[in-house]
Amino acid sequence: MNTAPFDPTHAHPLALPVGTTLDRYIMHRQHAFAFATGELSQLLRDIALAGKIVHREVNRAGLIDLTGGMGQQNVQGENQQKLDVIADIRFRRALTNGGEVCALISEEEEEMILTGNNKGKYVVAIDPLDGSSNIDVNVSIGTIFSIYRRVSPIGSEPTIADFLQGGHEQVAAGYILYGSSTMLVYTTGHSVNGFTYDASLGEFILSHPDIKTPQDGATYSCNDGNVDSYGIAVKTYLTLCRKRQFSARYIGSLVADFHRNLLKGGIYLYPPTPANPNGKLRLLYECYPLAFIAERAGCRAVNDTESILNIQPTDVHQRTTLYIGAPVMVDELMSLVNPKPVSKQASTAAI
């Protein structure tokens, strides 16, 4: 009998460990918290399961008549794509059947969705398919989610107040990027970890532990076609970026633009425009979750006046402007958007 301890360093390359699966990672994290009951772990696993199914649909969309529009609009007045609707159904079903979630807010549905699990402790706000204008052309798209512990009594019907707690109250947030590979990135408020999907195993494998963003970057991401309608401060900042020969990179899927900037350093801007005077992006299921991740990874996330996580929510579908990315870049932009008032003493001295 061979009783020698197994030493993976001497294994044949083909026999090396595949790494830590998402399930094992979640279980390991759960054991680190004395009073964890496993419900949040189950919820995260349900999201991962729906993510795998959406990965499958995204990958064969062109073969099974899943590209193109539904011929109808969602609550935002935007044309729904077939995959918007399919992804919405997939996540809704997984989170309903999982039993841990009592209600959902989805970009695709005007009203709060009651799952019937009134004993569930959690509510989820979700953008089931982000960047849907990119579906038909094989460009990266994603899912963004945000999880709260409900404030309404367990056992009762959930209320809108469960969703309007504010960004700091998120217990977990994450996204799934359906890109050249599919990745799930999430945080429960501590480190930010990324898992790459191995479709042959059907598992997300830990590939990006403890993601930290570079302090500074040389990439800026905004819709250049809107620049004429941006305010003077943002225009000035973009001129600085061009003078420094920064790279312009804009995919048009927030998840994909955010992910690139998170790993490489950069800034994403969606300022107010005449078409969207309060910004275009949705607070609860786009900006809050990405800001929660961003801050844990060392990025900053702000609108024109305050930190995204400090915005007081009043409506589940409300919009905000968004500037998010490397702290040095966001701070420089903010010094132009909100220049410090010159103190009286300083201005007298200048005269």
- Does 130 engage in binding with Mn ion (CB under 5 A)? yes
Take residue 141 and report the two structure tokens written for it: 């798209």
Cβ-based neighbours of 35, under 8 Å, separated by 6 or more? none
Number of C-beta neighbours around residue 29 at 10 A: 17
Which residue matches tokens 């945000």? Answer: 146
Q: To 10 degrees, what angle do helices 288-296 and 254-264 make?
A: 10
Shortest CB 84 distance to ligand AHG, Å: 7
Percent composition of the chain: helix, strand, coil (DSSP 3-state, to 5) = 35, 25, 40
Report the site for ligand AHG in 280-309 (rule: CB under 6 A): 280
Taking the C-alpha atoms of residue 309 and residue 314, their distance in angstroms, rounded to an integer, is 13
| Segment interacting with ligand AHG (CB under 6 A) among 62-70, 127-135, 192-200, 203-211 | 127-135
| Segment interacting with ligand AHG (CB under 6 A) among 22-30, 189-197, 250-258, 335-343 | 250-258
Which residue among 88, 127, 162, 295 contacts Mn ion (CB under 5 A)? 127
| Beta bridge mates, 116 | none
Which residue matches tokens 């460990």? Answer: 17
Shortest CB 32 distance to ligand AHG, Å: 34
- Does 252 engage in binding with ligand AHG (CB under 6 A)? yes
Shortest CB 254 distance to Mn ion, Å: 6
Which residue among 130, 162, 203, 295 contacts ligand AHG (CB under 6 A)? 130
Report the site for ligand AHG in 189-218 (rule: CB under 6 A): none
Residue 253: contacted member of ligand AHG, Mn ion, none (CB under 5 to 8 Å, by partner type):
ligand AHG
Cβ-based neighbours of 109, under 8 Å, separated by 6 or more? 74, 75, 88
Shortest CB 107 distance to Mn ion, Å: 5
- Does 253 engage in binding with ligand AHG (CB under 6 A)? yes
Report the site for ligand AHG in 45-104 (rule: CB under 6 A): 78
Q: What is the three-class DSSP state of 24? A: helix
CA 295 from chain centre, in angstroms, equals 12
Listed residue (28, 71, 25, 72) closest to 48, CA to CA: 25
| Site track for Mn ion across 77-106, x = CB under 5 A | ------------------------------
Q: Which residues bind ligand AHG (CB under 6 A)?
A: 78, 107, 127, 130-132, 223, 252-254, 280
Residues of the shown chain interacting with Mn ion in the complex, contacts defined by CB under 5 A: 107, 127, 129-130
